[in-house]
Amino acid sequence: MSKLSHTDESGAARMVDVGDKTATKRTAVAEAYVRMQPATADLIRSNSLKKGDVLAAARIAGVMAAKKTADLIPLCHPLAITSVTVDFIWASDSVIAVTATVKVDGKTGVEMEALTAASVAALTIYDMAKAVDKGMEITNLRLMSKEGGKSGLYSRPIVQEDPK
């Protein structure tokens, strides 16, 4: 079994030293689903919730979260992110897929930044709509792909899932 990168010889947690690594273009894509009542989805689609434009707020929250990942995850490196996009697709009448894409020219990857962006965007959707639907669920937070760096390309095998 390979040694974990975030532990030293004695097993103590440590930040990985990336000082000698070569900077490369790196990209990561993560997604999460938010399941809700169809009536809640209709309110979001029609921009009828009292708190305002749910998806605009969630998009900004996701971008901000990606930039703050090193403040939230103790062993993450602060990165000079070059791009963050947060997109939404209605997977069904009551499920919205949140996709976050993060890019950097750097010495370490942006998987955690993409995962953080997707999760905070999903949490913002929940926060904006919880007054009408406390039963919403945030599910399937996962890395979809990453490229760049020594380990190269990773792409999650595509499996057709029922978003309901």
Q: Is the pTM of this model over 0.85?
A: yes
The active-site residue out of 17, 87, 105, 127 is 127
Given this model, what pLDDT does residue 119 score?
98
Given this model, what pLDDT does residue 5 score?
66
Is 127 noted as a catalytic residue in this protein?
Answer: yes
pLDDT tens, N- to C-terminus, the chain (164 residues) = 446 566 667 666 766 667 667 788 999 999 999 999 999 999 999 999 999 999 999 999 999 999 999 999 988 889 999 999 999 999 999 999 999 999 999 888 899 999 999 999 999 999 999 999 999 999 999 999 999 988 889 998 866 555 55
Given this model, what pLDDT does residue 151 score?
82
Q: Is 113 left (phi over 0), alpha (psi -120 to 50) or beta?
A: alpha
Place of tokens 């990606």: 66
Given this model, what pLDDT does residue 9 score?
72
Radius of gyration of the chain (CA): 17
Domains in the chain: ranges and CATH? 24-149 (3.30.70.640)
